Amino acid sequence: MQIPHIPVLPKEVNHLFEKLNEGVFLDCTLGYGGHSENLLKMHPNLHLIACDQDEEALKFSKERLREFDTRIKLYHSNFSQILEQIDLRNLRGILADIGVSSLHLDKDERGFSLRSNFLDMRMDKNQPLSAFDVINNYSKEKLANIFKIYGELKNGDFLAEKIIRARARKQIASAKELCEILGDTRLKNRKISQAILAFQALRIEVNKELEVLELFLQKLEKAHLKDCILAIICFHSLEDRIVKNYFKKWAKACICDERSLRCECGANHNLGAILNKKPLTPSQEEIKVNPRSSCAKMRAFYFK
């Protein structure tokens, strides 16, 4: 079976969950099953619940994990929606790898790559909004905001203006064409081109990635999880910042006003503890094998 995607931080994920002997593990972003397969092999008494919004990925992983079929249950679902669909009482581990898979980038018709002949970027092909719709229908102001906020591009207004002018002549039909309009030049003092950052921003808008992540974390906060390890792998600074802030909030025992002279709340409001103060990142050895892992960051939290 040809595997189309290499999971990031596999050693770190395995180590984080190495003490799981039994119970249920939730893989919120199953993808092509790399992390789930490793954990099922490591823990013969562990049961897996997994979801993905990409039907192609689900079909592949169902076949890949066939030898474990008595221990797995798969859902076609966005990870922000899975918590309402399952029993959380025996949940002992949760993993959310919220990056784009190699197959998304490499498969031309998915329209994620700078050189793609399509302009799509939908992780769930059933959703109505695509990158084509955003690029050809959004106002200049909305496009500029996407580039400035999600792409952290200071010249977002300039890039939006270039798109408006180009689409006035004809529809922008491919990622390749969009890349040529934006310009694939490397930004000063940065190791990445403005086209890559603009594409990341566009992908975040199409799939509502930050909103989905916020909703997922809000639901976890109210889920009353016990004795459960949560790990989230991010590839974008905005996503990582959201996760970091939620973990800090959850680990805070005292919720008194900061101006209070002494604690009056009992200092017992923390949901658990942060397991790694600094995010885990790929080793140079891993980056050599899988260059796409270079910007991955994993943070972990233990629900007590």
Q: What angle do CA 21, 27, 29 make, to 5 degrees?
A: 165
199 is annotated as contributing to ligand binding? no
How many angstroms separate the CA atoms of 71 and 68, rounded? Answer: 5
How many angstroms separate the CA atoms of 71 and 179, rounded? Answer: 44
31 is annotated as contributing to ligand binding? no
How many Cα neighbours within 13 Å face the side chain of 205?
A: 25
Residue 49 near residue 86 (C-beta atoms within 8 A) = yes
52 is annotated as contributing to ligand binding? yes
Q: Which residues contact 90 (CB under 8 A, 6 or more apart)?
A: 23, 24
How many angstroms separate the CA atoms of 25 and 94, rounded? Answer: 6
69 is annotated as contributing to ligand binding? no
Of the candidates 158, 167, 170, the residue with the CA atom closest to the CA atom of residue 198: 158
* Binding-site sequence positions: 33-35, 52, 79, 97, 104
Residues in the annotated binding site for S-adenosyl-L-methionine? 33-35, 52, 79, 97, 104
